[in-house]
Structure 1
């Protein structure tokens, strides 16, 4: 006679389901954290490219110009939001500032000619 009991029934299936599901949970969190870290690096690169473009000489003839200052402020808000998600300082909900999204500004016309 064998003292080994067979594992069968609903408890066995629940255990197998938990074993199959639980290892994926930390993986999903790690994947999101990694993706957000990559996004932070991409925002850094985007900001550097925008700063370089802002320093280029620009032609004053177009009526509208890209507003690099407003764009930089929005990139900084996005960066703060991602960092706040990755390392929350408190558990209470916060109210993030809205992004501008409008990066076009009109050319100021100087009527006084020297």
Structure 2
């Protein structure tokens, strides 16, 4: 299991929450964030689908949940950049817990 996707997502979220740039610069940063999320999604999708868990591994990484959160973040940024009306807030929160119990883990399709 690689920690690269987690580090990449963390850096993307930090860049998103930075308030040190102007409005036009902020939009450029958000477009960059969407590209980074696309790259991260590609990396996650290219991970081995049927990774055999290690015999002593208690947990596995929950890639489907990470993919859902990436899509959720991407959609939120796109909605911000091109709002259809007043700025509604999505009440759904990111799960953030990507650790699966190996005994109850579903195979990644």
TM above 0.5, yes or no, is yes
Q: Does 1:106 align with 2:70?
A: no
With normalisation by structure 1, the TM-score equals 0.65
Q: CA RMSD of the aligned region, Å?
A: 2.0
d(CA) in 1 for partners of 2:59 and 2:51? 15
Unaligned runs of 5+ residues in structure 2 are 1-20, 105-109
Unaligned runs of 5+ residues in structure 1 are 1-26, 110-114
Q: Which residue of 2 aligns with 1:46?
A: 40
Bigger relative contact order (CA 8 A; separation at least 6): 2
Aligned 8 A contact 2:65 2:98 in 1 = yes
Q: Which has the larger radius of gyration?
A: 1
Q: Which residue of 2 aligns with 1:74?
A: 69
Aligned residues: 83
